[in-house]
Amino acid sequence: MRPGPRGVRRSVVSASFQMKNGWRLIDTGPCSGVENMAIDEALFRCFDPSCSAPVLRLYGWQPAALSLGRFQKASDDLDLQHCEADGLTVVRRITGGGAIFHADELTYSLVCAPQQIPTARSVKESFRVLTSFVLSFYQALGLPAAYAVDQAPDNSSLGARTPLCFAGRENYDIVLTGRKIGGNAQRRSRQVIFQHGSIPLQNRVGQGVQYLKIRPQGIEQTATCLADEGIAVDCDQLKQTLLQQFARQLGTVVQPDGLTVQEQVLSERLKYEKYVVDCWNLEGEEP
């Protein structure tokens, strides 16, 4: 094996090793927004639900970037001149939701087949199962984390569309004493589940709001982060806690791995053919 760009390890090990080995753990460390989205999509597209082992990826963002939801229109929601003036990279996710300013966060993505999720039957159940490790991660840090739906059982305040991810709440968003922390989104295709989410170390919502055309007032008070909650822990320790809760909640083990050659090649192609072009990032049109 030899190292790939940004610490991504190119592996010739097949992603289809037996399920007794649990989930593949791919820790790419901090990458650019373009690289992060290209790697995530490559993992999703290379996954074969009939034989691939499920994948958990951990990563960060360097430098800071802003990601749009799959169906957002950049010209409607973003102050693109401000983004350009500040040299802020804007990328589009393959999942829905609102814009997210990515800085000082631990991010995860996962890819699996429905049959690889314990106990889950419906799409909603699978989302609850696949976010349970994030919920228990916060709880393991001593924080009173709960699902938004459990704090608003009539659903009256859930599901409204907002240009900024942290301004809205879905059923299985995670809240701490009424304030949203991070966000999670899922996509399904070809009997493959892709999900990713953010764990904010510092509260950068106020910094991200400046890049919106319409800047909601007081949004910083509706979102929180680990630092705001008094958690100042080394990122490596946070990763270990997250992995422990992942293994416990899903009843599995994680095995450190790298990108396969197929995944690496596809991510490089996507990086240059899709995630650096405006037709995808700003317009949402496949190149």
Classify domain 2-117+186-215+232-281 at the CATH superfamily level.
Answer: Bira Bifunctional Protein; Domain 2 (3.30.930.10)
Say if CB 15 and CB 260 are below 8 A apart: yes
In a structure prediction context, what are the per-residue pLDDT tens digits for the chain, which is 287 residues long? 333 444 444 343 344 444 456 999 999 999 999 999 999 999 999 999 999 999 999 999 999 999 999 999 999 999 999 999 999 999 999 999 889 999 999 999 999 999 999 876 788 888 899 999 999 999 999 999 999 888 765 555 544 455 444 444 567 889 998 889 999 999 999 899 999 999 999 999 888 889 998 876 666 678 899 999 999 889 999 999 999 999 999 999 999 999 999 999 999 999 999 999 999 999 999 98
Q: 245, 58 in Cβ contact below 8 A?
A: no
| Alpha-carbon dihedral 145, 151, 153, 156, rounded to 10 degrees | -120
Catalytic pick among 165, 225, 235, 279? 165
Catalytic residue list contains 165 = yes
Tokens of 283: 């317009």
Token pair 């910094």 in the structure block, residue? 207
Domain ranges (residues) in the chain: 2-117+186-215+232-281
Q: Which pTM does this prediction carry?
A: 0.88
DSSP string, 152-173: STT-TTS----SBGGGS--TT-
**CA–CA dist 116, 210 (Å, integer):** 41
What angle do the packed helices 261-273 and 33-46 form, to 10 degrees? Answer: 130
